[in-house]
Chains A and B, each alone.
Chain A
Amino acid sequence: MGMTITPVRLHYMHTASPGESFYLRGLAERRLLGQRCGVCGQVYVPPRGTCPADGVPTHEEVELAETGTVTTFCVVNVGYPGQKVTPPYVAAQILLDGADIAFGHLVLGCDPGEVRMGMRVKAVWAEEGISHFEPNGEADAPYETYERFM
């Protein structure tokens, strides 16, 4: 038996949610916007429109700083179709100052081997929003300040 490839081409119209839209409009103005849940009080960035812990819509807008802490990360050495950055590169969890949850983004602008847990980083802006984060030169955040966010 042989193998044959049958292409499957489908088009989808993607719609950004109200929470995502709010965030994306902020990015267009080079602002980092999050939302605080009215029930648990936690600040989500990117905002999701609904608090996943409570299942309620989130409304309160919070503006966050462009700086944050790398809570954890890995160095990606693997290639795959559709990849935007050439390996090796750092995929990290970044806790923005003022946020209660880290989110995934890239850390570039330094050797991947230099990246460490607790490293302080700042956003680097591009046309479509944040292109990546890079070290901002501050001393590393102490482990105790971010350990509960991992």
Chain B
Amino acid sequence: MKQQAAVLGVGQTRHRSKRTDVSMAGLCREAADRAVADAGLTLADIDAVVVGKAPDLFEGVMMPELYLADALGAVGKPVLRVHTAGSVGGATGNVAASLVQAGVHGRVLALAFEKQSESNAMWALSIAPPFSIPVVAGAGGYFAPHIRAYIRRSGAPSHIGALVAVKDRRNGALNPYAHLQQGDITLEKVQASPMLWDPVRYDETCPSSDGACAVVIGDAAAAAAAPGPVAWIRATSMRSEPTMFAGKDHVNPAAGRECVAALWRQAGITDPINQIDVAEIYVPFSWYEPMWLENLGFAAAGEGWRLTEAGETAIGGKIPVNPSGGVLSSNPIGASGLLRFAESALQVMGKAGDHQVPGARVALGHAYGGGSQFFSMWVVASTPG
């Protein structure tokens, strides 16, 4: 019943703290143009567009797909706008893939963006309705307590978070699109950076970026017609759970575990660490690398930090994680999830340039959002399987 689908092309902007040279439409168009060109197509060849973005309150634009229709060449076409909090970029990729897998469209453009310089994300994330307790201080303030709980639960040494930051920022320096490119960052510098939400430091925190990412997904016929290598979508998965409920495990959420279990089943993966060549996962605060390694089954519960400490998540390690530099190097919030999906595709297409994991054939793209409650994932491969 389900048709084959593949990533035909990928495009993204150079992510920066302020892109004062383009409007929101221009930012999106830059990524869209690159994606269709990468696929050997034009916007006229696209049958439908799926737009993903974080809350409208960030940029002050309600339902931006309405304003963007012209810029995306979507007039006269179907346009959907998904919004699943931080996982939205992943959901955008998955919904676009579904349209092809269902046989509804032959070529779909998935696009996600955030123009943070034209928004006040910190304010939008901290709005407290009347009668509520004014405690939350942005995303960092929400996640830092759960990071503390992980450290206690796992017994991880305190420098693990800083190791992740060093790796991801150095990887960012290999990625021409990354916002932060800190090739000479050191463990000492990270550990000396200001403490923002104890135990999370400044250098262990994602930046705020203007950026867009676009991916063209096509059916088997479109893949056959593509001028270069494609990334076959072997599996997709999405799961949600409530933000808070009695019995929720905030450190190792059930929704993440069930999402990846369904994903591995679909993709025929029984031994993730040995069968996945590279993982682009959503790590906005450094400690989420070991936490997600466990949640995704690359390591047993409580053991994820050992992979980080041993250098196994670097390019060349057993399970390279975020060779692109990840969310720690570029974080246009609405786009970050799609960037993970796009970078996983670039890896198996062999197009990741200086941050290519040699011989990568099977890759994981992962995104999460909300209070560790929304998860979207996919597995892509260089062959249809």
Contact = CB atoms under 8 A, between A and B. Distances in A.
The answer to whether any beta carbons of A and B sit under 8 Å apart in the complex is: yes
Interface of A: 1-3, 6, 8, 14, 16, 20, 24, 40, 42-44, 51-53, 71-78, 80-85, 91-93, 100-101, 103-106, 112, 117, 130, 143, 147-148, 150
Interface string B114-130: 00011010110011111
Contacts of A71: 149
A40 B242 CA distance: 15
Contact of B153 (A14, A93, A150): A150
A72 B137 contact: no
B120 A73 contact: no
Given A1-B21, A52-B244, A77-B196, A83 B148 contact: no
Interface stretch (B1-9, B211-219, B246-254, B349-357): B246-254
Interface residues of B, number: 47
B198 A104 contact: no
B144 interface: yes
A60 to B, nearest CB: 14
Given A77-B194, A78-B137, A105-B135, A100 B126 contact: no
A83 B134 contact: yes
B148 A73 contact: yes
Contact of B122 (A2, A80, A84): A80
B136 A104 contact: yes
A49 B248 CA distance: 18
Contacts of B146: 72, 150
B133 A104 contact: yes
Contacts of A105: 133, 135
A14 B129 CA distance: 7
A74 B197 contact: yes
B245 A72 contact: no
Interface string B267-307: 00000000000000000000000000000000000000000
A80 B126 contact: yes
Given A71-B149, A77-B194, A117-B152, A91 B137 contact: yes
A76 B129 contact: no
A83 B141 CA distance: 12
Given A2-B20, A53-B246, A103-B133, 17 more contacts: A3-B117, A16-B130, A52-B243, A72-B145, A73-B148, A74-B148, A74-B197, A77-B194, A77-B198, A78-B196, A82-B126, A83-B126, A100-B246, A100-B247, A101-B244, A101-B246, A150-B153
B188 to A, nearest CB: 20
Interface of B: 20-21, 60, 117-118, 120, 122-123, 126-131, 133-138, 140-141, 144-149, 152-153, 194-200, 242-251
B197 A75 contact: yes
B228 to A, nearest CB: 35
A143 B155 CA distance: 13
Contacts of A8: 60
A109 to B, nearest CB: 15
In this complex, the member of B147, B148, B194 whose beta carbon has the largest number of chain A beta carbons within 10 angstroms is B148
Contacts of B148: 72-74, 117
A82 B123 contact: yes
